[in-house]
Structure 1
């Protein structure tokens, strides 16, 4: 297997931004990151595109005794997406799903309060939303985000990640209006393998990046144009 594709999430964001040139400096475009790992990626994308940056809260539902394996996901607005293949294979009961969803729902609310600090969610009606994460493995979390966003009436949803499993990127094309996976290595295994530095993104880093993006945008900081 070849080595990592990216030094870190910021480099992944720069590479991804280069594939999103048609969306640069368009007033109808907003970049939404899936925290926490999606924030460093989305920060670079938003800077290069000259677009506002915000978060879209989604929580993975880890399977019992296999927390790293997504059996589903929940998103803001009460949306729940279940990966029936995983649930059936591991014989997960409805009660276990409900208990996990309740626990993760509390964490989703905590992050919503901590990251937004009183700011309302962005109004995406009639806009192009570029939904960014650091990668796609099963794609369950991203599917929950797309489903939740659809209820808010955007004109277009673009899923954008630096790296993803080929099958997941292809499957999401049926749900999003456009899917951009900068790299689709085979075999895939896991998102973290394709970054040299895949340290966990902290709540503090999320808040700092959101504040920095807002400050730079308010100050009219110019970024190199995206080719």
Structure 2
């Protein structure tokens, strides 16, 4: 089973696979969306090979109060949100509590957007193929929310692309994205980091730097 040297190596290998599927000629209107922070170095390499614009897809999961690991929805930029009504009903979350959680997570989302993107505008995804990229998938909750938000923002097609992921989680994500590209689905999966030789935390300034570099070379 392949072990990636680091996120750059993983991104280049993922880009090669995607390039064969999408074609690197630009026939398909593609935008690459990296999940911050660790997904951005991977996404940078994908965008570079596909000659596609790069942006972050900033989302905040709406956790059930007192059980925040259970997501009842997510919010994204532009006022976009997705809600799992079944979880809301099961957890007995009132409208007032739900709105309070939304407000809190939107405030955090706005702060993260400003931190990562600065004064640059969000790359529009309406009518385009959105390739959502992360450095790996464990539970799949974040990737699921990102795909749902990308679609809610108007993406015509949503592709989830990751170097490695839990087979069970990847199977579930195939029901959310139009296509899932995953290079490795190890049978005995415990954590994303064990499939990398170097898996240090990606700092905020690296995300900002990579987005800036991509913006300067954006083919338009």
Same fold (TM over 0.5): yes
Match of residue 15 from structure 1: 13
For the Cα contact (< 8 Å) 2:139–2:169, is it kept in 1?
yes
CA contact under 8 A between 1:81 and 1:143: conserved in structure 2?
Answer: no
* 1:113–1:197 distance in 2 versus 1, CA, 3 Å: same
Aligned counterparts, 1:3-152, within 5 A? 5-21=3-19, 22-23=21-22, 24-26=24-26, 28-60=29-61, 70-72=69-71, 74-76=74-76, 77-80=79-82, 94=93, 102-152=103-153
Question: Would the alpha carbon gap of residues 115 and 138 (structure 1) be closer, same or farther in structure 2, given more than 3 Å must change?
Answer: same
The runs of at least 4 consecutive aligned structure 1 residues that moved more than 4 Å come to 60-67, 80-85, 95-103
Across the two proteins, how many residue pairs are aligned to each other? 211
Contact 2:80/2:153 (CA < 8 Å) preserved in 1? no
CA change 1:123–1:216 in 2 (3 A) is: closer
C-alpha contact 1:81 1:144 (8 A) present in aligned 2 = no
How has the CA–CA distance of structure 1 residues 75 and 197 changed in structure 2, closer, same or farther, with 3 Å as cutoff? farther
Matched position secondary structure for 1:109:
helix
In structure 2, the CA distance between the partners of 1:53 and 1:180, relative to structure 1 (3 Å rule), is same
Tell me, yes or no, if structure 1 residue 153 matches structure 2 residue 154: yes
Q: Look up the SS of the partner of 1:188 in the other structure.
A: coil
Deviation at 1:31, TM superposition (A): 0.5
Q: Distance in 1 between matches of 2:198 and 2:149?
A: 30
| Mapped partners of 1:52, 1:133: distance in 2 | 16
In the superposition, the TM-score normalised over structure 1's length comes to: 0.80
- Report if the CA contact (8 A) 1:79-1:148 is conserved: yes
CA–CA separation in structure 2 for the residues paired with 1:140 and 1:13: 21
User: Helix, strand or coil for the counterpart of 1:20?
Assistant: helix
- Conservation of the 8 A alpha-carbon contact between 1:158 and 1:178: yes
**What secondary structure does 1:126 align onto?**
coil
Give the whole-Å Cα distance in 2 for the aligned partners of 1:9 and 1:66: 31
Give the deviation of 1:9 after TM superposition. Answer: 1.0
* CA RMSD between the two structures: 2.9
Structure 1 unmatched ranges of 5 or more? 221-227
> For residues 67 and 3 of structure 2, what CA distance do their matches in structure 1 show?
27
